[in-house]
Structure formats: structure tokens, C-alpha cells
């Protein structure tokens, strides 16, 4: 399949691996890019120095015998406290592609594009997709309610969001949220997308840096075993465990944002996803985990999707 | 398109009009069936005598010059207090097709099938879809989180639900929730469905018995203007208005089921949908209302979907 998303990023298949905290370092990103998709390093869980290391390692892994480098990118949550330093490193290291999220596309897009970087921005509504187009981004990722981790407030599902965004913007559109099988891959294109961004299935594959216990827990989750919680802070889709049950209990009795912030504390996503604390960690994964049942490599995922 | 859903119900196109309270009387159901889909009378908002009148009127409208009657059906929420009387009327009036929901498919399926009635049951999970198959229903409707009105507790979206149910059951599968455009119609089939059940778009068409003010309010809603509320009672997707804001406020401070029951009171769905009370009525519609923008007939909807 050749289309605008393939042409924009110089990739073989319109499959983007979502940048995910504690899952997508250089190993996952380079494996996806080698297999013909677009791998993204997730900067959201990295200190700036660590990000530089991942970028350099990814570039080394993707450098071909003739010196050409296969495309790869970095996902940057724009609300990151060290955002200026992150952007500086991305420019210095000549990262070719940046996916931004969680913030306004207006602030950084012009600078990134001045340096010849392709920019995509992640949104959860048509209104924000239009702002992205006006800000000059090259592509929009529209992510539905079923996605894992941080999520939009409108709760619009992929099935309703993609056709609405398609009607709203002219630039290339990438569907995210719930895409995990060949059927959903094909459905995303039927809805009007020109590419897909896949988080959950890549988060659970061999090259993901997530803890093996997290991967095992998430593979083959039952329907309803993830829930969108912490809506008074930033809505986040979490797997059922002791922590999520405590959140549900607190929210059910009307806990304030302050109380939820205290309950959340610090470092829970790292504890859950990277260190494998399945009981009190924050386990971020999408609804599509119900369809992921086996250990597989990034290359096997891409081959399955595009076969 | 000819497939198992068309063959099962004897219809031209695999398009079912969802049975909806205060919207789908004999006028809408017969208009859909005349256009080649399957129209359903929604028994959920009808007194038994009124249901009998609608069945007889629907049959009369669908009787062809040669005496043959085009297929139509009745949707029955099984938790209906007068369920025994409703089932008796359906059998007496020789309704050919029944869609059941909100209850166990085990209790009434055998009786309905003894009378030669085709039975489909509406579910929101794979586990319940399997129970339906075991109970002997002829088809399953799997309805995602984006659907209007009463909704499943698992919050699984159409995009994730349909492939999961497809893997679980052998019998015909009908997708519901978010299907409103040709793009989403095609996507439902890509996900593995063999037919679609459409509520929202038919609820807002000319033959729907909903109040004109309700239809106007719902057409072209903005994303995020419906919300899944009343989760401590039965989760229900409602349009933003004074009533829904009061529910959100109550839920935010941890209101109990008892308090929510009192706040809901009686007759709000009728007031909102049928009588056009847009401020304090209960306005039930799906997320797909964002894609419905104009006055149109049931026949125009079906022609657009299958063109």
C-alpha cells in the first residue's frame, strides 16, 4: 500500500508504532522501522540525556550499509516539564520525524519544520484536528476512547472520531485507538484513515521495554478489564488492579482532584509498566489488549497486519 | 449484498433499524422495511395495547398487493414489567422477528422459536454473545460504547467489540453503536459484522416519532456533547442539557444510586424525546449524531448507506 502517509514519512507500510511511556525505547522503534513501519521513541518517560542515548542508538540500528538511515521519530508530550531541552536535543540529533501530543501544536511546529522535521500531532477531536492543520502540521493522529493511557475528555470512539476528523481536515489522517488486528486495520481505512498508529499491540511485543509481567497480564485481558479513570485529573485508561480499584472507590464517593493527585502519587506508571508491579502500579493499556494473545515480534505484527 | 443476515430475515439490505423508545413506532419501522431494511417497533415505551396497535398498523403498511407481508420485527427489553403480556401479544399477532435486549436470552428464546419467530439478542460483550448462541438465538447484535441510550458496563467500543464477538460466536453478527455513514457501514463489515443496526440516524429521520425539537437539537451535535451517565443505575448516553448537568454534578460529588433514582424521576425520556423538553428531559442519542446533519427519510438513509 502506497499512500500519503507512506510518502510523507518515507515508509513502506502506513503503520506507526505509538510512542508510549516505559515501552518504546530505541529497541522497539528500530524494530518497527526495520519492518517497514514507523517506529517512535517515547520521550514521555525519559530524562533528556536518556532520550539522546535512545535517539543515537536508534539511528545506529537503522543505518544501512550504504549510509542511509531508515525513518524513525520521537513522540513528545508537549506538557513535559523539560520540553525546551527535549526539543533542542531533537533538533541537534537531526531526528527526521516528531509526533507531538498533550499540548498546543502552535508553539513548536514552526521551529521543528524550520529544521526540516516532519510533524504529526495527536488529537481526540475534530476541533483540535483543525487547529493542527492551521498550525501547519504535516499529519494528524486521531485517537479514540478505546486507546490506552491518557485519553481525550470527549470520550469519542475511534468509530465516530475518524469519519468526523476526515470530514474536517485535508491533511493526512492516522487512526489510533483500538487498532490491533487485520480486521481493525482494514476498518480504520474504511473509516477514512490513511494510516494507523498502534500502541497496545506493540507495547506487548518482544521488543517493548515493558516488564514481562505487565505484558503477560495485559495479553488477553477480558472486556471491561480496562477502565477510563482519573477523569478529574487527566483521563487515563488503566487495567483493573488494587490501585485502579482504589481510584474507582475514591471517584465513586466524589473524591476531589487533590485527593486523587495524592492517591496517584509519583512513579506509578514506571512501577507498573517497567518494573512489573501489577498490584499497585499504574497499568496503562488500551481496550485492544483483549485481542492480543501471544508473544510476537514487531516484524510479525506488521506482517500480520499488511498480509 | 446478500449474506446470512439478509437470508435470516428475508431482507434486501443488511440494515436493521434499532428499536428505540419514543422514536420507532409503526411509521418508522414500516418505512425502513419498505426500503429494503428491517424495521423494528420499539416496545420499550409502549403500553401493551399500544404495541398491538403498532404491530397491526405496521403489518397493514407492509402488506403487498399479493398479500405477502414484508419482514418487520419488535424490539423487547426483557426487563419490561409487563413482559409476559408483551410476549403474548407478539405471539398472537404473529410477529415474524423479535429483537430482545436487557435481560437473559435463555428465558424467552425457546418459546419465541417454538412459534417460528426469528430471535436476535442485543449484547455489549463477547461473554454475553456466547450465552446468546448457547440459548439458541438466531443472531447477535453487538453494541458498542458509542451507542445512545442504555449501554453496557464494560464500555467496550464498537471498534474493539465487533472483532472480539466475531471470534467468539458462529451465528450471524450485527454491529451497533456509531454506524451512521457509508464509511462506518463499510467499516462495520471490515470488523467482521454481517449486518448493522442503526439507531441514531433513524431516530433523527422524518418518520421517527421523536419530537422535531429533539431531532433538531441532536442533528450535528458537537463531539463530546453526549456523555455516558447514570452509571450507578443503568449507564445511559445522554445529550448535554440542564438535566444531564445536574446528573454530572451529582455524580461528581459521589451521589448514591438512591439519590440518582430520585433525580431521574419518572417520564424524563418521554418528556425529552417525545415531547421535546430539551432542558429537563432525558435526551438519548448516540455519538454518531455528530455525523447526522440534515432532514432525511428512512429510504434516503438506506439508499445512501448501500450505494
CB-CB contact of B145 with B157 (8 Å): yes
B220 shares contact with chain A (CB less than 8 Å):
no
Minimum CA–CA partner of A154 in chain B = B224
B210, HSE (Cβ side, Cα atoms, 13 Å): 34
Q: How far is CA B76 from CA A142, B43, B45, B146, B174, in A?
A: 37, 5, 10, 21, 17
Q: What is the pLDDT of residue A2?
A: 73
Q: What is the pLDDT of residues B258-297, one digit of tens each?
A: 999 999 999 999 999 999 999 999 999 999 999 999 999 9
d(CA A185, CA B98): 33
Q: How far is CA B135 from CA B15, B106, B112, B129, B131, in A?
A: 24, 5, 12, 10, 6
Q: Which residues of B185-200 are buried (b: 16+ CB within 10 A; e: fewer)?
A: bbbbbbbbbbbbbbbb
The backbone torsions φ and ψ at residue A23, rounded to the nearest 5 degrees and listed phi first, read: -120, -40
Task: For chain B, count helices (H), then strands (E).
Answer: 14, 11
DSSP for B130-197, please give it: HHHHHHT-SEEEEE-TTSSEE--SS---HHHHHHHHHHH--S-EEEESS--SHHHHHHHHHTT-SEEE
Q: What is the pLDDT of residues B120-145, one digit of tens each?
A: 999 999 999 999 999 999 999 999 99
B235, HSE (Cβ side, Cα atoms, 13 Å): 17
pLDDT along chain A (307 residues), means of 10: 91 97 97 98 95 98 97 95 96 98 94 98 98 98 97 97 98 98 97 98 98 97 98 97 98 97 97 98 98 97 96
Q: How far A254 CA lies from chain B's nearest CA (Å)?
A: 4
Q: What is the pLDDT of residues A273-293, one digit of tens each?
A: 999 999 999 999 999 999 999
CB-CB contact of B197 with B18 (8 Å): yes
d(CA B256, CA B304): 45
A126 shares contact with chain B (CB less than 8 Å):
yes
**Mean pLDDT across B218-227:** 96
d(CA A45, CA A37): 22
Q: What is the pLDDT of residues B136-171, one digit of tens each?
A: 999 999 999 999 999 999 999 999 999 999 999 999
pLDDT level of residue B181 (50, 70, 90 thresholds): very high
A56, HSE (Cβ side, Cα atoms, 13 Å): 8
Q: What is the pLDDT of residue B2?
A: 73
Q: What is the pLDDT of residue A110?
A: 97
What structural domains and CATH numbers belong to chain B?
A: 4-209+292-306 (3.20.20.70), 212-288 (no CATH)
The grid coordinates listed for A251 are 471517584
Minimum CA–CA partner of B228 in chain A = A155
pLDDT level of residue B220 (50, 70, 90 thresholds): confident
Q: What is the pLDDT of residue B65?
A: 97
Residue among A126, A129, A157, A224 with most chain B CBs within 10 A, to mutate? A157
Minimum CA–CA partner of A250 in chain B = B254
pLDDT level of residue B101 (50, 70, 90 thresholds): very high
The DSSP H or E segment spanning B17 is: strand B15-17
Q: What is the pLDDT of residue A80?
A: 87
Q: What is the pLDDT of residues A27-57, one digit of tens each?
A: 999 999 999 999 999 999 899 999 999 999 9
CB-CB contact of A191 with B187 (8 Å): yes
Asked whether the beta carbons of residue B183 and residue A163 sit closer than 8 angstroms, the reply is yes
Asked whether the beta carbons of residue A163 and residue B186 sit closer than 8 angstroms, the reply is no
A233 shares contact with chain B (CB less than 8 Å):
no
Task: For chain A, count helices (H), then strands (E).
Answer: 14, 11
Q: How far is CA B55 from CA B18, B29, B58, in A?
A: 16, 10, 5
The backbone torsions φ and ψ at residue B69, rounded to the nearest 5 degrees and listed phi first, read: -115, 130
Name the residue among B188, B234, B191, B209 with its Cα closest to residue B39: B209
Strand partners, B173: B140
Amino acid at each position: 500500500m502506497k499512500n500519503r502517509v507512506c510518502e510523507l514519512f518515507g515508509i513502506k507500510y502506513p503503520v506507526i508504532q505509538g510512542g508510549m511511556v516505559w515501552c518504546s525505547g530505541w529497541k522497539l522503534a528500530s524494530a518497527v522501522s526495520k519492518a517497514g513501519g514507523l517506529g517512535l521513541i517515547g520521550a514521555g518517560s525519559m530524562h533528556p540525556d536518556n532520550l539522546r542515548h535512545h535517539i543515537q542508538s536508534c539511528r545506529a540500528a537503522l543505518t544501512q550499509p550504504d549510509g542511509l538511515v531508515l525513518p524513525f521519530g520521537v513522540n513528545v508530550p508537549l506538557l513535559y516539564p523539560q520540553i525546551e531541552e527535549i526539543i533542542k536535543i531533537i533538533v541537534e540529533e537531526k531526528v527526521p520525524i516528531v509526533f507531538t501530543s498533550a499540548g498546543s501544536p502552535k508553539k513548536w511546529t514552526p521551529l521543528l519544520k524550520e529544521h526540516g522535521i516532519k510533524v504529526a500531532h495527536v488529537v481526540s477531536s475534530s476541533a483540535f484536528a483543525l487547529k493542527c492543520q492551521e498550525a501547519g502540521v504535516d499529519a494528524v493522529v486521531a485517537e479514540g476512547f478505546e486507546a490506552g493511557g491518557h485519553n481525550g475528555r470527549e470520550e469519542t470512539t475511534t468509530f465516530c472520531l475518524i469519519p468526523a476528523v476526515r470530514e474536517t481536515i485535508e491533511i493526512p489522517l492516522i487512526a489510533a485507538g483500538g487498532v490491533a488486528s487485520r480486521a481493525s486495520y482494514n476498518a480504520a481505512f474504511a473509516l477514512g484513515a490513511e494510516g494507523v498508529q498502534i500502541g497496545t499491540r506493540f507495547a506487548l511485543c518482544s521488543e517493548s521495554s515493558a516488564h514481562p509481567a505487565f505484558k503477560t497480564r495485559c495479553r488477553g485481558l477480558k472486556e471491561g478489564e480496562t477502565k477510563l479513570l482519573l477523569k478529574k485529573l487527566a483521563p487515563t485508561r488503566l487495567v483493573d488492579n488494587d490501585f485502579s480499584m482504589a481510584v474507582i472507590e475514591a471517584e465513586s464517593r466524589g473524591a476531589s482532584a487533590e485527593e486523587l493527585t495524592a492517591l496517584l502519587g509519583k512513579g506509578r506508571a514506571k512501577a507498573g509498566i517497567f518494573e512489573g508491579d501489577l498490584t499497585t502500579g499504574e497499568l496503562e493499556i488500551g481496550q485492544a489488549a483483549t485481542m492480543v494473545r501471544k508473544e510476537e515480534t514487531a516484524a510479525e505484527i506488521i506482517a500480520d497486519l499488511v498480509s
